[in-house]
Chains A and B, each alone.
Chain A
């Protein structure tokens, strides 16, 4: 099963990202890759271009590059054997980061599997 984990930045001030945190996060990501669970990960630019489509016509409604109050700051696509496993991996992430908010959602393929 694939799950997309996302961290949400809602403007709450974060502690400084020091060398130690970066090293621990690097080790965590390396470990997740090594165990075969992590398929892809990345951070997202807070500047977003918003698009709305109507009757097949897509239009830019906001931006390019508007800053939202709340936005997805980072993501990790993981492959696990159950949702509980994905949650356990998530716990490991927050144990390093400290405080914040995030979501975990199941990712379905084109055929719903």
Chain B
């Protein structure tokens, strides 16, 4: 006999997003929808251990949540009219919605959870809570913050959405692109939080990559006409394919050229390529995620580091720097140019960045400069740059790698 609480937990994680999304459409309030869904979860925890898990647990949870909604509305007669409308909506819909309706509801939910009236940490917490079915304790552990902070963040976020009168809808027209950017940013922030977690970290942190990937795949299913959604999925699939290869047995990060490519996950690479192809087939000019995915795909395609098509990568960085100009992209572009056309070309790009204030404490700049100088044969200057990069990085494992390179050259 399996632990029924673990089954309830699994059902909840699978069903919560749809239930919250469906309720939010009926009551036009994400916060209220989430509370009703939680009420249903409590009812399941009370009843299922004795009565067994129902045949269709999702429908069970949904109908209990709706009943709780109606009860609650009857008790709160003060908001008479609004309440009556909601009550009718809850009572009217008895069937489970069709798959397309569920997809629309989920899209509305993700757009609402990532609404720009909320702070970034609040968007992340709400998204994980409502689309990932994660508890506040899990979110807190994954992001290394106290549980009370996350709980408060979620309560405030729900109040803000309600007070700002944010409608439960997927924006159309000119607003859509900016709002979609926010959704993609949230998903990629979650992915990166997991990606920077080291081998010894709490597995919940590392699992954030998996969660972000799941969210991205879900998004691609419910917004299939958006090339950047497929671009982000492709980028995450390909990055995740290197998980096993990118950390050494000692916990130190292994740079891409030195990774054992046999340990890259071919299934994820294939999925990444398929997602990239879907993005490109939509025919729009490539956005930042599609371009980054294309760069990742170039690396994935090379059987050995020496076979990397640096000219193509440098070309993609030229496009990326135009659609998403940032000093960080410039540093990566400099590295690619150096690999494709010789270190001089890369150093020229870095020299132009020297006065950029945001670059003053960015460890990757001296690290790439050190690499390019070493390839020019300028060992003393290269060692100095690596030592500088080592002082700037906040990651212990990375610092050790940089210090080693500095001492090898001096």
Contact = CB atoms under 8 A, between A and B. Distances in A.
Interface in B184-219: 207, 210-211, 213-218
14 contacts: A33-B217, A35-B221, A36-B221, A37-B214, A80-B10, A84-B6, A84-B7, A84-B9, A85-B10, A85-B13, A88-B7, A89-B14, A109-B244, A109-B265
Interface in A61-113: 77, 79-82, 84-85, 87-89, 95, 109-111, 113
Contacts of A57: none
Nearest to A39: B267
Contacts of A21: none
B239 to A, nearest CB: 16
A34 interface: yes
Contact of B10 (A33, A39, A84): A84
A34 B11 CA distance: 17
Contact of A36 (B99, B216, B262): B216
A37 B213 CA distance: 10
Contacts of A33: 217, 221
B6 A82 contact: yes
A27 interface: yes
B194 to A, nearest CB: 13
Given A81-B207, A109-B244, A36 B218 contact: yes
Contacts of A27: 99
Contacts, number: 66
Given A27-B99, A79-B210, A111-B244, A85 B14 contact: yes
B75 interface: no
A31 interface: yes
Given A81-B13, A82-B6, A85-B10, A36 B263 contact: no
A48 interface: no
A12 B213 CA distance: 39
A51 interface: no
Contact of B214 (A36, A77, A111, A113): A36
B394 interface: no
A37 B262 CA distance: 25
Contacts of A113: 244
Listed residue (A30, A34, A80) with the most chain B CB atoms within 10 angstroms of its CB: A34
Interface of A: 27, 30-31, 33-37, 39-40, 77, 79-82, 84-85, 87-89, 95, 109-111, 113
Interface in B207-250: 207, 210-211, 213-218, 221-222, 244
A113 B56 CA distance: 32
Interface of B: 2, 6-7, 9-11, 13-14, 55-57, 99, 103, 207, 210-211, 213-218, 221-222, 244, 262-263, 265, 267, 271
B222 A34 contact: yes
A89 B11 CA distance: 9
State the 9 A-B residue pairs at the shortest beta-carbon distance, nearest first: A34-B221, A36-B217, A84-B10, A36-B214, A85-B10, A84-B6, A36-B218, A88-B10, A84-B7
Contacts of B217: 33-36
Given A77-B267, A84-B9, 16 more contacts: A30-B99, A33-B221, A34-B217, A35-B14, A35-B217, A39-B267, A40-B267, A79-B210, A81-B207, A81-B211, A82-B10, A84-B6, A84-B7, A109-B265, A110-B244, A110-B262
B162 to A, nearest CB: 28
Nearest to A30: B99
Contacts of A40: 267
Contacts of A82: 6, 9-10, 13
Residue among B207, B215, B217, B222 with the most chain A CB within 10 A?
B217
Contacts of A84: 2, 6-7, 9-10
Given A34-B222, A81-B207, A87 B7 contact: yes
Contacts of B55: 95
A55 B210 CA distance: 40
B7 A34 contact: no
Nearest to A84: B10
B271 A39 contact: yes
B5 to A, nearest CB: 10
A45 to B, nearest CB: 22
Contacts of A85: 10, 13-14
Given A36-B221, A39-B271, A110 B215 contact: no
Contacts of A89: 14
